Amino acid sequence: MSHSHRNIKSALKPILLIVALFSFAVTAFSFAQEANADSTDEPHYSTVYKEAKKHLGTSYVYGAVGPTHFDCSGFTKYVYKKSIGKSLPRTAQAQYNGTKKVSKKNIQKGDLVYFGSSKSSISHVGMYIGNGRMIDSQNRGVVTEQVYAPWWHVVGFSHPTDLSYDD
């Protein structure tokens, strides 16, 4: 090997090292950006909850889908669509049938709570807001109330979409 060839080879080593380190840094940075994008792309529970709260006191009308009157499933369908663009089926039974089921112990804020005589005979739906409470449209209009009230018989829970939370 000639003397000049050895000089070129030794001169290339630091350049190759810099290129390798730069490539690693760019890869690590873009990976971090992707991971960050995933967490911020998830719709936020507070967006859904704020939309639901806007309608407290709105009157109940059977078959109504908002925004001036709601029935129970019309309310949950409207809130999810208006707040985060998530489409839900029209009726309480169809919302239960068409969304991912969760157990009582795994329920999260924003999940839906279903009521009726059985899982195949659902007559009411509300949105869980934490601490055993829900927001729903019923004969008193849109209200917040306890999930476990004497006039409701809980038959199931579902997770319509993944949401991110502050707490």
| Interstrand relation of 141-146 and 154-159 (parallel, antiparallel or unpaired) | unpaired
Residue ranges of domains in the chain? 1-42, 45-159
Active site residues: 72, 124, 136
**What's residue 22's pLDDT?**
56
Fold of 45-159: endopeptidase fold (from Nostoc punctiforme) (3.90.1720)
The whole-chain average pLDDT of the chain stands at 87
Q: Enter the pTM of the model.
A: 0.76
The answer to whether 60 and 49 are in contact (CB under 8 A) is no
Whole-number Å distance between alpha carbons of 27 and 144: 48
72-84 vs 45-54: helix axis angle to the nearest 10?
130
Which residues 6+ apart lie within 8 Å of 107 measured at CB?
Answer: 113, 128, 157
The answer to whether 55 and 75 are in contact (CB under 8 A) is yes
- Banded model confidence at residue 130, pLDDT cuts 50, 70, 90: very high
Q: What is the dihedral of CA 58, 53, 163, 132, to 10 degrees?
A: -90
Whole-number Å distance between alpha carbons of 75 and 69: 8
Which residues 6+ apart lie within 8 Å of 116 measured at CB?
Answer: 92, 122, 123, 124, 153, 155
pLDDT tens-digit readout, 43-89? 999 999 999 999 999 999 999 999 999 999 999 999 999 999 999 99
Q: Is the torsion defined by CA of 77, 83, 58, 152 positive or negative?
A: positive
